[in-house]
Amino acid sequence: MAGVILKAVFKTFGKTTAIKNFSLEIDDGEFVVLVGPSGCGKSTMLRLIAGLETASSGEIYIGDQLVNEVHPRDRDISMVFQNYALYPRMTVYENMSFSLRMRKIPKAEIERIVRQTADLLRIGQLLDRKPGQLSGGQRQRVALGRSIVRNPQVFLFDEPLSNLDAKLRIAMRAELLLLHQRLKTTIIYVTHDQLEAMTMGNRIVVMKDGLIQQVDAPDAVYDQPLNRFVAGFIGSPTMNFIDCRVVSEKGDLYATTPGIRLKIPESHARHAEKYIDQEAILGIRPEHLTVSTNNRHLDAADRFKAVVRVIENAGSEKLVHIRNENDTLVARLERHIRLKTEETVDFTARMDSAHLFDKQTEHTIF
């Protein structure tokens, strides 16, 4: 097994640059997820690692070998494609054994490995079928099996779950994690689904327009996003962003809009000092908004009034769309809280969990 090292990788297609200055060290046995909106270059990066594309510049190492010029079959990787790419006219057994046959492994050995893998994935009874006779979930397993049999150093997964229905996808997520715990092989996993990224990765690489935005453990990406893009991309429903002005009153800093005035906690204040009397963007996650419980007087530093516009009942919780002046926010509330639309309600923001972003650069201020 081996890690993967990417050094300043660029990839251009004609005029578009799909990957820009991509550097990353992936440890042996790590489960790394590349996540980002469609078209941001995730697949391209994976294909560069696989050797299906050649980097325009930069270096790619698998283990300690520089592989830029190495053919995919010699990189000791395996890849699962979004459409699975099962060979349509071969049986499941032939599909799974194809790579071993290409490598001239003895027949008996092939048989043993394929059966063992099939049992691991519980597809032993499907070995004689053709891909056309399988359900989506079964095809997915066969594609997995085909990549496992070779016992490669690195698994590359390109949106392997996005063709499955929601329920199956969640089940397969857990199974893939179990598989990783068992095989302990490095996995580089591509998805556009931030939830999938959060639940699966040891580390998440958030990408946008071919550039790495942030590399961190899931919690860190969630709690300390490096910029507004990451803050907005990770988490659902998405973070509320409010254009505000930073003002200083009696030594305290406030983020203000025409209808909202929220105190910036002392712990964060020193980061925001540079922005006094300037515009900034306040970011508050929907779960950090709650209905104020007791009736303290209104100019409390973490409260504001808002009109309830829409209530989405999601069963375990409520998503409430609220409006203050020109700002629309979403609050994620517990299910037992009863609200009526058009009602004006007093909300409390957990300002110690809020973020402030530079309006121009969109970098995180705190």
Ligand X SMILES: Nc1ncnc2c1ncn2[C@@H]1O[C@H](COP(=O)(O)OP(=O)(O)O)[C@@H](O)[C@H]1O
Binds 83: which of another protein, Mg ion, ligand X, none (CB < 5-8 Å by kind): another protein
Question: Does residue 43 interact with Mg ion by CB under 5 A?
Answer: yes
Q: Phi and psi dihedrals of 226, rounded to 5?
A: -80, -20
Cα(228)–Cα(98) distance, integer angstroms: 46
CB of 78 to Mg ion, least distance (A): 18
169-207: b (≥16 Cβ within 10 Å) or e: beebbeebeebbeebebbbbbbbbbbebbbebbebbbbb
**Helices (runs of H) and strands (runs of E) counted in the chain:** 9, 20
Based on CB atoms, which residue is closest to another protein, 84 or 229?
Answer: 84
Residue from the set 23, 27, 57, 73 that interacts with another protein by CB under 8 A:
73
40 makes contact, choosing from Mg ion, ligand X, another protein, none, with CB < 5 to 8 Å by partner type, with ligand X
Q: Does 159 participate in binding another protein (rule CB under 8 A)? A: no
Residues 242, 269: contact at Cβ < 8 Å? no
- Residue 203's beta-bridge partner residues? 32
Rule CB under 5 A: is residue 324 a binding residue for Mg ion?
no
For residues 76 and 159, which CB has a smaller minimum distance to Mg ion in the complex?
A: 159
Measure the CA–CA gap between 366 and 364, rounded to whole angstroms. 5
- Does 53 interact with another protein (rule: CB under 8 A)? yes
* 212 neighbors 22 (Cβ within 8 angstroms): yes
- Compare residues 101 and 363 and give the one whose CB is closer to another protein: 101
Instruction: Output the six-digit token pair for 359.
Output: 């309006």
Give yes or no for residue 11 binding another protein (CB under 8 A): no
- Report, in Å, the least distance between residue 209 CB and Mg ion: 14
Residue closer to another protein by CB (options 82, 328) is 82
Comparison of 110 and 333: residue with beta carbon closer to another protein: 110
Q: Does 74 bind another protein (CB under 8 A)?
A: yes
Q: Are strands 154-158 and 186-191 parallel, antiparallel or unpaired?
A: parallel
Q: How many residues bind another protein (CB under 8 A)?
A: 33
**Least Å from the CB of residue 359 to another protein:** 40
Tokens of 137: 């979930």
> Does residue 76 interact with another protein by CB under 8 A?
yes
> Closest Cα to residue 154, out of 42, 22, 49?
49
Please report how close the Cβ of residue 43 comes to Mg ion at its closest, in angstroms: 3
Query: Minimum CB separation from ligand X for residue 16, in Å?
Result: 5
Stretch that binds Mg ion, among 39-47, 170-178, 180-188, 282-290 (CB under 5 A): 39-47
- Distance CA(259)–CA(243), nearest Å, equals 12
Position 112 contacts another protein (CB under 8 A): no
Which spans of this chain sit near ligand X (rule: CB under 6 A)? 13, 16, 18, 36, 38-44
Is 258 exposed, middle or buried, given 0-12, 13-18 or 19+ CB atoms closer than 10 A?
A: exposed
Q: Kindly state the tokens that stand for 327.
A: 């700002």
Sole binder of another protein in the list 23, 27, 57, 102 (CB under 8 A): 102
Our CB check for ligand X shows the closer of 3 and 41 to be: 41
How far is it, in rounded angstroms, from Cα 182 to Cα 224? 31
For the CB of residue 163, give the shortest distance to ligand X in the complex, in Å: 15
Residue 7's contacts (CB-CB under 8 Å, 6 or more residues apart) are: 23, 58, 59, 60, 61
Residues binding Mg ion (CB under 5 A)? 43
Q: Which residues bind another protein (CB under 8 A)?
A: 47, 50-54, 65, 67, 69-79, 81-83, 85, 87-90, 98-99, 102-103, 146, 150
